[in-house]
């Protein structure tokens, strides 16, 4: 059986995958992206718990209904740029196949963003009010430039203080300073109150000895 040949509908593909694996889904990640051919991609993470044949149909129906609901009500509302931008929704799945709304959280990724810092900040500011709930900022440096930006957000049930946009701009500017020093590196920032602070830097050094 080839899952891709069955349907072009991503939810139907998920249904067939669960029917084939006969295992409970622990965590579900759903991506909405302008980088891929398809509008949505689903990444199920299975547990080792088997689903009995008598419970399989009901489990799949619960999961399918839940996925359609969260895509329609949560993920489809997220605006994405025309190129190299994605929103990823991660959620936990209960034992009966129903998605736990309270575990839903988002992160967004820009691949190959503009090479000028103020244009990157303008791009990030396109997230609007969503940016207020910034929790973590991961920046990848490659070829002495920012190659990838990933932003993780607080979920709807967490309390947080909105990070000042000036703080985000300063973090991006500091990342460009690091990019002038390192050919490749991973930078990790985290929100602390209304500030954002560099928590770790992992340079990637290559050469001959």
Q: Hey, which residues does 77 pair with through a beta bridge?
A: none
Q: Of 58, 84, 106, which residue is a domain's last?
A: 106
Domain check: are 82 and 15 in the same one? yes
Same domain, 124 and 187: yes
Maximum distance among all alpha carbons in the chain? 62
DSSP string, 100-142: -GGG-EEEEEEES--SSHHHHHHHHHTTGGGGGGEEEEEEEEE
Please identify which residue in the block is written with the tokens 């430039």.
145
Could you tell me if 9 and 87 lie in one domain?
yes
Residues 100, 126 within the same domain = no
Does 99 lie in the same domain as 25? yes
Q: How deeply is 25 buried, as exposed, middle or buried, from its count of CB atoms within 10 A (0-12, 13-18, 19+)? A: buried
Residues 97 and 122 in one domain: no
Check whether residue 173 and residue 93 sit in a common domain.
no
What is the pLDDT at residue 174? 87
Q: Are residues 131 and 180 in the same domain?
A: yes
Q: Are residues 138 and 183 in the same domain?
A: yes
Residue 81 and residue 126 in one domain: no
Query: What are the residue ranges of helices labelled H in the chain?
Result: 3-6, 10-21, 53-70, 117-125, 165-181
CA distance 101 to 74: 10
- Pick the last residue of a domain from 91, 106, 121: 106
In terms of residue numbers, what domain contains 120? Answer: 112-209
Cβ contact 163:195 at 8 Å: yes
Q: How many Å separate Cα 29 from the centre of its chain?
A: 8
User: 65 and 3 in one domain?
Assistant: yes
Residue 104 near residue 74, CB atoms below 8 Å: yes
End residue of a domain, out of 53, 87, 106:
106
Q: 146: which strand partners?
A: 141
Q: Looking at residue 208, which CATH number applies to its domain?
A: 3.30.470
Count of domains observed in the chain: 2
Q: What are phi and psi of 126, to 5 degrees?
A: -65, -15
Residues 96 and 153 in one domain: no
pLDDT in tens, the chain (209 residues): 555 555 678 999 999 999 999 999 999 999 998 877 778 999 999 999 999 999 999 999 999 999 999 999 888 888 887 778 899 999 999 999 999 988 999 999 988 877 777 778 777 877 878 888 899 999 999 999 889 999 999 988 888 888 888 888 888 888 888 989 999 999 999 999 888 999 999 999 888 88
């Amino acid at each position: 059986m080839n899952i891709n040949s069955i349907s072009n509908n991503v939810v139907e593909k998920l249904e067939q995958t669960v029917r084939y694996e006969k295992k409970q889904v622990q965590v579900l990640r759903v991506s909405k992206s302008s980088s891929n051919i398809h509008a949505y991609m689903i990444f199920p993470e299975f547990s080792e718990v088997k689903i009995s044949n008598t419970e399989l149909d009901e489990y799949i129906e619960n999961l399918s209904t839940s996925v359609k609901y969260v895509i329609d009500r949560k993920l489809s509302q997220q605006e994405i740029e025309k190129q190299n931008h994605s929103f990823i929704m991660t959620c936990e799945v209960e034992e009966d196949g129903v998605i736990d709304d309270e575990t839903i959280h988002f992160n967004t990724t820009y691949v190959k963003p503009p090479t000028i810092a103020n244009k990157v900040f303008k791009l990030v500011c396109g997230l609007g009010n969503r940016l207020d709930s910034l929790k973590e900022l991961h920046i990848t440096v490659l070829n002495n430039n920012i190659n990838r930006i990933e932003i993780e957000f607080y979920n709807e049930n967490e309390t947080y203080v909105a990070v000042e946009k000036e703080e985000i701009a300063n973090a991006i500017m500091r990342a460009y300073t690091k990019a002038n020093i390192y050919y490749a590196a991973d930078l990790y920032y985290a929100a602390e109150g209304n500030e954002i602070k560099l928590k770790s830097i992992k340079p990637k050094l290559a050469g001959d000895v």
